[in-house]
Structure 1
């Protein structure tokens, strides 16, 4: 069966699948239909989304309930451990994952970024081996970004994407060899409020951001990607258990069968960016073994996950300034060593994470510092056995590639490199003692970065250069969760100032007063007051929201038709 092409006709508002004895589950489009949205939200595409929600929506809710239980247990003193009930999977030396699909054999440098037309073209022209087309942390999930990103990807895959900026500059894909696209859908916890799913009992609920992003991309592009000699490839974010991995595997298998595509065509790379997932790396690979290409060390979300899970467990779990939590501190070192060892044991790629330092073409000194920092980071990763790494800026690709070329040479990867000497224990993954202070500057930086990032996010920008660092939702999560933890654990700065909500309110006022705003009469209204309101909600309230994007999305980004 060939995947249907998009119909030029406008989508109908409700699409369902008949279920005997009922009107059947259905998805209703509740968001406005902007220009060209009908090319993505076709009746056939929405029917596929309906099937995905009908078959997998209930299991998704079960897995999210498991997350809440696990987080409650850790908060109440039950540290995560390697599972006894899955020991047989870890001890079975015979199984391997599917490995690289066509176009994924060499992943030494991957560029990450959002999927708007300009960034899509820049990524495809970058010279990287792989492009992580990010619908998750680097994309603000406005309705226009969600469907607009699908349009960018669909046009790019068919070789017809162009863009003209407001100043008249034209952008086109000119590279003879473009990166292999690996698309990152939103995590299981995120919803899409512009699509409403009604189940077979008549209950209405928001659609799953994961299933929407995956489903629309797969529906429109799987066949074209296969015909081009590549395939439908995905980065899977925010997993917390092998059961969640099995859910994704079942989604992949069903989707392949739905369109008559050979089983195992899809390839997934899983981001290990939560503390629970670090204890189940082999189990995650096992559950996804038919479709898995590798694991990625998602460093920033992993740090956030440590803070989130241990935020109430006392002073010994408090981390110092964000800038002091580097890849060489004990718990981060243990996590990356375990990831590389696990991947190579099972024939999976180990992909390194993204250093936040970025160049500034107007400031040679900043650029030199960024290159130096990134070179050291990538040298460490390549030396540790990683098969590839991420960068967030095209100018850093030569730096990262040079470090991996020095280790790989002509080899496409180092999957044959084993790591028998690595022995990571549960307590090593939980060794968060760094021995550095919290400084007044560190507190202020967290407040400033979080508010400035949120302001851009509310305007639809998901990846933002702030103080010569690339910030996205993950780094903003670290900033606000540290502030919450420092307040609730009664921490003081190095100079003896107690960190209280009142103290942070003073920093908020200072940030709002000192940050440049658009001039009067500007076409672009800033969102700093809204950003400060979100920050107060996620950093200063007694309750700790699991993700800052959840209340911010519901309050500010939902459109009505």
Structure 2
């Protein structure tokens, strides 16, 4: 069964805010930090900065809650039998002849971008890495303890100012290269669904999105503008055009409040939810005055596919290792993104290969690097204008592939008019199996990642793959999906049920506690949380929502 879902009528992006008073003229709501004070916090959350955040909250919190309510209502329709589809009310946008604004010089060549958390060492290494861009990630690769958030904002502020330095426990000093040699900084705030638990505005928790992006912009936007470096942002986990319109209004308001020209703040949107794949044109159109591209956020996309279609038995996925980009639904999504972006004058960014270098095993490392090379070759041949890596050692490999096949700064001339993607193409489930190894691997990844995340580490190497919240969410959602439908079997005929989950958990605590793994002191807590989440009657929207309540 399918249905075109009810949606509100199309609204143009708001450019003229028509505020009765200047954005910061009204008396701000009180801002309260509920966590222990961290070093440098008072300077970050000065009176003017707090007033800025309070004004953001006052203006946009009700709108944020409205788009979150719309998500919930739409998911309820999916759970009742509807399927995602292209919107009839926005057909004119999809069929119209329009293009986005010109891409600024600093973002025209994005062939290799490195991503990672915002601790000082990572910020320095990423900016010095030789990649074209560095996505400083407050979202999937940062555990949002208050200490991490404050340290991350301080590190980025000092990096923009050119004063960031770091000395490790061993005495090794890290310093920034001169500004012209640094990667272009792009900041990813957390998604609309998350509150900032440590900051109350007028007694309400503030949006984590507005806190992350707003605080960074307040301290750095003018300096970046003067350097022709933005500010630039990656916007995560959007599900609809209406959510993009909200971001347009937020960024326009920030420009107005900080005295920036209209359209100065540029955005790249991650297409990492299944509903958003049906609204790529609409999202580009909503942000057309400032958008620089769309990105294939493949790992979150696979997670969203599971979550969106959780009530539909026919869309149960095989184990994670079998859900690669050659699978028809992922190939359709990737190639559709290239065609849509290039038609509109935007960059089509590729995604992340999770492999990292394997020390001490030359054959295994060669095989892992071959998989990375194949992935990047697929992307550049499909027409992508750049790609992501999580480890600095992969930058030369990714650049070599893109240099060989993309001699210019991008390849928007690759129109991909051969691509015609239907609703069924985007939904086509991959075929495959679930093995004992795949099932137990999901269990171990969930436990190890969750324990590390609770301990303050949001980016964790596990079995030579870089796991973050997105990859852990795939593992967690798959466990729930396999258990929930009741008739899913392993390839040897074993039924996947709570007994199998218990067997996989048995002995895991003792084994991991004996190893030098991040967060090993919280292994038992992680096991208990996973068991609860995997066996729950409904799939929790995000692993990080219940886990966040346990963070400092």
* 1:509 maps to which of 506, 510, 528: 506
2:346 maps to which residue? 348
Residues 17 and 50 in structure 1, CA contact (< 8 A), matched pair in contact too: no
Partner of 1:13: none
Change (3 A) 1:525 1:399: closer
> Would you say the 8 A contact 1:312–1:488 is kept in 2?
no
Matched, 1:426 2:423: yes
Which residue of structure 1 lines up, in the alignment, with residue 534 of structure 2? 539
The corresponding residue for 1:220 is 219
2:127 is the alignment partner of 1:113: no
Cα distance between partner residues in 2 of 1:160 and 1:369 = 40
| Alpha-carbon offset, residue 513 of structure 1 | 2.6
DSSP-derived class of the 1:131 partner: strand
Query: Matched residues in 1 for 2:159 and 2:87: separation?
Result: 43
Match for residue 491 of structure 2 among 491, 494, 503: 494
SS of 2:533's partner is helix
Distance (whole Å) between structure 1 residues aligned to residue 176 and residue 435 of structure 2: 46
Distance 2:319 2:520 in 1: 32
Q: Aligned with 1:103: secondary structure?
A: helix
Counterpart of 1:526 (choices 521, 529, 532) is: 521
- Give the match for residue 299 of structure 1: 298
Identify the residue that residue 12 of structure 1 maps to in structure 2.
Answer: none
Alignment gaps of 5+ in structure 1: 1-15, 199-203
Question: Separation in 2 of the partners of 1:26 and 1:297?
Answer: 39
Distance in structure 1 (CA, Å) of the matches to 2:493 and 2:393 = 42
CA distance in 2, matches of 1:518, 1:384: 42
In the superposition, relative to structure 1, how do residues 488 and 393 fare at CA in structure 2: closer, same or farther (>3 Å)?
same
Report what 1:311 is aligned to: 310
Structure 2 counterparts to residues 359-438 of structure 1, below 5 A: 359-409=357-407, 411-432=408-429, 434-438=430-434
Asked if the contact 2:29–2:51 (Cα under 8 Å) also holds between the matched residues in 1, the reply is: no
Q: Distance in 1 between matches of 2:364 and 2:513?
A: 21
Q: How many residue pairs align between the two structures?
A: 528
Query: Aligned Cα RMSD in Å?
Result: 1.7
Instruction: Pick closer, same or farther for the CA change 1:163–1:24 going to 2, 3 Å.
Output: closer
Shift of 1:524: 7.8
Q: Which is worse superposed, 131-140 or 169-178? A: 169-178
Q: Write out aligned runs for 1:434-445 (5 A).
A: 434-445=430-441
- The change in CA–CA distance for 1:126 and 1:108 in structure 2 (over 3 A counts) is same
Alpha-carbon distance change, 211 to 530 in structure 1, aligned in 2, over 3 angstroms: same
Return the offset for 1:173: 1.8
Residue number in structure 2 paired with 1:448:
444
Superposition deviation, residue 216 in structure 1? 0.5
SS of the residue corresponding to residue 396 of structure 2 reads helix
Matched, 1:463 2:459: yes
Aligned to 1:547, the other structure's residue is in SS state coil
TM-fit CA distance, 1:523:
12
1:329, 1:525 → 2: CA distance? 35
Instruction: Provide the rounded CA distance (Å) in 2 between the counterparts of 1:534 and 1:107.
Output: 39
1:451 and 1:524 mapped to 2: Cα distance?
A: 10
